Amino acid sequence: MAYPFQLGFQDATSPIMEELLHFHDHTLMIVFLISSLVLYIISLMLTTKLTHTSTMDAQEVETIWTILPAIILILIALPSLRILYMMDEINSPSLTVKTMGHQWYWSYEYTDYEDLSFDSYMIPTQELKPGELRLLEVDNRVVLPMEVTIRMLISSEDVLHSWAVPSLGLKTDAIPGRLNQTTLMGTRPGLYYGQCSEICGSNHSFMPIVLELVPLSYFEKWSVFML
């Protein structure tokens, strides 16, 4: 989950998010290098008494500062495309979970075997227990088995919403009349928080998502209990 004074991404809980983290590190390093080089050159330019007013030919430097940025862009594009295609890999999920966005809560349906469905409302600030997170906790969490490929199908019953869990690198729009698919694979147990990511009315900021990733046996017990 997000924490105070956070600077970077949340810790990755899925393989894709790990890749995205590393890609971001790589790209940000390039950006820092270019920015510091430019700042340094500007500072040099502004602090010299030397002048040169008769520049006629700059062919060589122009070539360098065309080719080099092109190479840098390719070095950014290749990992980016690699991750893009990795996100689209065909995998065989073991479980399908549907989530429907409403104003202003999420509902979840697990219908592979029996019909398990429930609503997930935010816990109001007044009713939080000590240690719980403000505007992030819900009454019914989405319990899922860990280390299992899960097909998430996301839609909406009224207006546009978006189902996002940053720790797993997930964000998929919930569009009425459309069923959007995303793949979820959590590598470790824990609680993972997200918030609605498409403006949907007055309580848009108050419909969070909480995933509870647990071992398969716990998930089976929970689903029997919830039925």
Partner 1 sequence: MLDIEFQKSPKGKWTTPPFDPRFPNQNQTRNCYQNFLDYHRCVKRMNRRGKSTQPCEYYFRVFHSLCPKSWVQRWTEQIQGGTFAGKI
* Residue 137 main-chain phi, psi, to 5 deg: -80, 150
CB of 178 to partner 1, least distance (A): 5
CA distances from 212 to 68, 89, 168, 195 (A): 47, 25, 12, 15
Q: Is 92 in the site for partner 1 (CB under 8 A)?
A: yes
Strand partners for 214? 145
Residue with tokens 């980016």: 80
Q: Which two tokens stand for residue 176?
A: 């009425």
* Secondary structure E strands in the chain: 95-102, 105-110, 116-120, 142-145, 150-156, 161-165, 170-174, 180-184, 190-195, 208-214
CB of 74 to partner 1, least distance (A): 27
| Stretch touching partner 1 by CB under 8 A, among 64-72, 74-82, 123-131, 144-152 | 144-152
| Stretch touching partner 1 by CB under 8 A, among 35-43, 73-81, 135-143, 147-155 | 147-155
**CA-wise closest residue to 12 among 208, 185, 215, 214:** 185
Of 155, 162, 167, 195, which one interacts with partner 1 (CB under 8 A)?
155
Binding to partner 1 (CB under 8 A) within 197-216 occurs at 215-216
Of 27, 103, 182, 223, which one interacts with partner 1 (CB under 8 A)?
182
Quick check: 216 and 126 in contact, CB under 8 A? no
Q: Is 157 in the site for partner 1 (CB under 8 A)?
A: yes
Site string for partner 1, 96-115 (x = CB under 8 A): x-x-x--------x-xxx-x
CB of 63 to partner 1, least distance (A): 42
| Stretch touching partner 1 by CB under 8 A, among 33-41, 62-70, 123-131, 175-183 | 175-183
Q: Is 22 in the site for partner 1 (CB under 8 A)?
A: no
Helices 59-87 and 15-46, packing angle to 10 deg: 160
Q: Is 151 in the site for partner 1 (CB under 8 A)?
A: yes
Three-class DSSP category at 89: coil
Q: Which two tokens stand for residue 109?
A: 């349906």
**CA-wise closest residue to 97 among 115, 109, 113:** 109
Q: Is 117 in the site for partner 1 (CB under 8 A)?
A: yes
Q: Is 148 in the site for partner 1 (CB under 8 A)?
A: yes
Of 39, 178, 205, 221, which one interacts with partner 1 (CB under 8 A)?
178
The contact set with partner 1 (CB under 8 A) reads: 90-96, 98, 100, 109, 111-113, 115, 117, 145-148, 151, 153, 155, 157, 172, 177-182, 215-216
